Amino acid sequence: MSDRTDDQAVTIRALLWRLGRAVFGDRAGLALFLGTLCVVTATWRAGVFINDNFTLVWTLEALSEGRAWIAPAGESAYLAPGTNTRAGVIFGRNYGQVVAALPALWLLQAIDAILDLRIALAAAWHLLALAFVVQLGRLSGYRLESQLGGSVLVGTSFLLNAAIAQSFVSVSVYTLALQVTTAVAAALLAVVLYRLVTLRHGRKAGVVAGAAMVLVTPISLWATIPKRHVLGALIAVGVLYAFARSRESNGAVSVPVLGQAPVYRAGAYALIGLWAWVHAAEALFMFVALLAVDIPTAPSNDRRSLAVVAAAFALSLVPLLVTNSIVTGEMLRPPRAMGERGLTAPAQENLTSSGGGDSSGTASGIEGLFGALGAGSVGVVIAQVVSITVEGVASFGNVESLYRTYVASSVEGIQQNKSRFLGINLALLEPAPVLGACIAAVVGGVHAGHERLRATLDATDALAVLFGVGFVLIYNGKLPLNTQVTVRYLLVLYPLGILLLARSATVRGLLNTHRSELVWSYTAGVAVGGQLLVAYLVIGQYAVGEAARIHALLGVVLGIAVAVTSTASAFDERARPVAAVALGLAGAAGTVFFLLATLSHFAFVGEYVLPVAGALSDLLSAVG
């Protein structure tokens, strides 16, 4: 009897071990997952950030009750952004994302039934933190020290949190479930980026890339906001990883029944198919990019491989087609193709406390695309893709809005936000000035010479570039846009940007030869610079729009400094220490932005999940 339970225990352990290997790759991947989850949820506020979060919350509520529509249509019915009305009922949006949140919802509902949700979530956070510290100890060889130190720290912190914890006042489990899902997606995104970089440049570069993406880019800010953008970034980087694996040796994996099959290649297509369930237009552009790179570079395009790939892709589209027939009544018309409430919905989104927005959106390229998808004609779809591409390329003629979107934002550029939120919309570079080093990556690559560049670049790089270009083409004409906050439509450019830095010999060189300068300037930047900024912003009682301008200015200055010094370091070794310090400080600015945005500027959103984070936030607002 006991032998049998022992055997079972061994099998379960082996199974967990294999599952862990499949998801995280190795212990470093697991540590990165746990660490990311802890960081992004440390300042987690349970609540709605943007008006259209409501749409997702209500859609989840509806699905959990077994229906697809969120409310009966009527004159008094509130039409949340992105909803569609058909057959007398209002439908939600992003069904794929909402379905992904169901397991988290069931878990939370079960916990809520018996325990105090606030304490239970604090407990879960602390158990994750303990697991993270223990894994870190095993990785670094300080196993006993981390176990003892971690126990003391985590135990104390938990008791402190439990002592000051008060039950949530008005927090919906539906919001929490959506937030848990996006936070897990952000952690998986860090893991996938780590594994992708590790394939080419080894574990160390991989860990730095994964951790940097979380700590110095706004991925962490969006990780607990129930929007699709973090999930989209996860899908994009996931496709890149699957694609890179499919190009290894022969790229085939042995599968039961099928035998040798191009599993990774099929997986890349299937991920895109699943994304179509959330945002069909983005998925379509990713599909076109993948097709363009995959077919010419595949290890083999024999009939059997193509059949496996096509079957996987077709299967992954089933949820989309089922949802379409329920919501729009036509299998080939995605929800976003109905009415004008397609991608123009952003114009209606507003930060929660600013109330509803106007619904004056004009149909343009992307809505046309949805219409074409509805029409189901391949020719029309291609024509629309071409027209969006042409429109996207044409939008590059507007140099001012390019500058305002990618480099330095302006208050006057986006006036739709209510006055107190005027100025909160940052450009791509501002919240993550390390991306300034992308210039160095490109210039350094070109400087290394044509031959060398051709030897290092591979099909995965081409796909990454096409993904970036695809997203830019879709959205560029509309940007800068209100409530983009950190150009959230192009959030995928942050992991792709970090990938570019990781692929750059110039940037990796800085990391190898000047690590201590980097680490010290980053640490000092966060600890000292962060406190100075807190003193300046908090004591000066800056409103969120005003504070954002300070971050913007800091971000642009540091971003340019990084661009100049790291580019110089590609030509002259003497510039390297300076470039390393600039990179460290730019990273610190990104981290401080995340901390201040979540603890101070956007503190009015919802309730802090960790009681100590709430107390810290109160303290910051009381100083002034």
Partner 1 sequence: MHPGRVAVGGVVCIVLLVTAATATPLWNVPEPGSDSATLGNGTATVSVVSTPEELTIEPGRQGGGTYYLRVPDATVNISERNGNPILTYKIDIDGLGKSRSSVHGVADLGTGQKRLSIERLSLDERELDEDGQYTATVSLILRENGEKRVLYNESMPVEVQR
Residue numbers of the site for partner 1 (CB under 8 A)? 114-116, 119-120, 123, 126-127, 130, 134, 143-144, 146-148, 150-152, 154-155, 158-159, 162, 411-412, 415, 418-420, 422-423, 541-543, 545-546, 548-549, 604, 622
d(CA 442, CA 458): 15
- Smallest gap from Cβ 423 to partner 1, in A, equals 4
Longest alpha-carbon distance in the chain: 76
Compute the least distance from the CB of residue 456 to partner 1, in Å.
43
Q: How many angstroms separate the CA atoms of 596 and 617, rounded?
A: 9
C-beta of 126 vs 478, nearer to partner 1 = 126
Looking at beta carbons only, is 9 or 382 nearer to partner 1?
A: 9
Inter-residue contact 119 to 164 (CB < 8 Å): no
Between residues 107 and 375, which has the closer beta carbon with respect to partner 1?
107
What is the full DSSP assignment across 455-490? HH--HHHHHHHHHHHHHHHHHGGG-S-TT-TTTGGG
C-alpha closest to that of 607 among 66, 45, 17, 28: 45
What span, in angstroms and rounded, lies between the C-alpha atoms of 146 and 538? 35
Q: Which residue has the tokens 């070109």?
A: 446
| In the complex, minimum distance from the CB of residue 16 to partner 1, in angstroms, rounded to a whole number | 17
Contacts of 19 (CB under 8 A, 6+ apart): none
Residue 170 vs 415, nearer CB to partner 1: 415
Q: Minimum Å distance from CB 214 to partner 1?
A: 24
Nearer to partner 1, 331 or 411 (CB): 411
Nearer to partner 1, 130 or 533 (CB): 130
CA dihedral of residues 242, 282, 185, 595 (deg, nearest 10) = 130
Sheet of 84-86, strands arranged across: 69-72, 89-91, 84-86
Q: How many CB atoms lie within 10 A of CB 448?
A: 16
Is the CB of residue 367 less than 8 Å from the CB of residue 335? Answer: no
Nearer to partner 1, 162 or 363 (CB): 162
Smallest distance, partner 1 to C-beta of residue 221, A = 19
- What does the block give as tokens for 336? 């976003």
Measured from the CB of residue 62, what is the shortest distance to partner 1 in angstroms?
A: 29
Strand partners, 72: 89
Distance of closest approach, residue 240 Cβ to partner 1, in angstroms: 36
**C-beta closer to partner 1: residue 116 or 391:** 116
Return the exposure string of 54-93: e unless at least 16 CB atoms fall within 10 Å of the residue's CB, then b.
Answer: bbbbbbbbbbbeeebbbbebeeeeebbbbbbbbeebbbbb
Give me the least distance between CB of 126 and partner 1, in Å please: 6
| Closest to partner 1 by CB, 115 or 386 | 115
152 burial (CB, 10 Å; 0-12 / 13-18 / 19+) is: exposed
Q: Which residue matches tokens 């140099």? A: 399
Cβ 277 to partner 1, closest distance in Å?
A: 35
Least CB distance to partner 1 at residue 291 (A): 44
CB neighbours (10 Å) of residue 543? 14
Closer to partner 1 by CB, 157 or 456: give it.
Answer: 157
Amino acid at 73: A
